[in-house]
Structure 1
Amino acid sequence: MAEHEHGSMNYEAQEKTFAGFMSFTTKSVIVILVLLVLMAIFIR
């Protein structure tokens, strides 16, 4: 079994993935809200 030293994990890839996920989620929510507003205005 390999020895693990506390605090030695490289987490740069995890941070990049999370930042990408949050960016995608934010942009998706904005697009959905814009579409809902446009539907509310033009579809009656």
Structure 2
Amino acid sequence: MANSQDIKPNEKTYDSFISMLKWATPLIAVLVLIVLMIIS
């Protein structure tokens, strides 16, 4: 099992990763659509 002292920093890292993922996914989708429109 994980040491209780390690859980708080890991949760903070996970939360920041998830929040970046929430912004990055739609941004990448928009960039892909723009590239597809330029190509076609």
The one-letter amino acid paired with 2:35 is: M
Q: CA RMSD in A?
A: 2.0
Q: Distance in 2 between matches of 1:39 and 1:21?
A: 26
Per-residue deviation, residues 2-38 of structure 1 (Å, max 9, x unmatched): xxxx8x6131111100001111122111111011122
Segments ≥4 residues shifted beyond 6 Å:
none
Higher helix share: 2
What fraction of aligned residue pairs are identical, expressed as a percent? 24
Question: Structure 1: 5+ residue runs without aligned partners?
Answer: 1-5
- Count the aligned residue pairs: 37
* Greater C-alpha radius of gyration: 1
Unpaired segments ≥5 residues, structure 2: none
TM-score by length of 1: 0.59
